[in-house]
Amino acid sequence: MNSEAGRRQLEAFVECQRRGDVGHSFSHLSLALCLIPHLKHQYYNTFLRVFEEWSDTVEETKGIQQALTICEAALSIYPNSPDIQYLLAKILYR
């Protein structure tokens, strides 16, 4: 069940990427990786790219608090990621 739902989320992620909808891309990929955790390694670089783009957009339009919420979501998926921790520090530094 989770695997099927995760695959649907990945399909939605691809469609959102095709349309350039970064926010929904981030949401769909995050949910897919929660539902199919064995794909985390395979999608790590893609996740970082989408996360960085989305957090920058959110910080510019909605402020640092919303960007920090996105960081929290990213860290829940990749809790030991030095790359996500670096991006969090970058947001806090600005």
pLDDT of residue 93: 86
What are phi and psi for residue 91, nearest 5 degrees?
-65, -45
Give mean pLDDT in consecutive 10-residue pieces for the chain, a chain of 94 residues: 91 98 97 97 98 93 91 96 93 83
Closest CA to 59 of 46, 42, 71, 47: 71
- For the question of whether the overall pTM of this predicted structure is more than 0.75, the answer is yes
Count Cβ atoms within 10 A of the Cβ of residue 23 and give its class: 0-12 exposed, 13-18 middle, 19 or more buried: middle
Domain 2-93 has CATH 1.25.40: yes
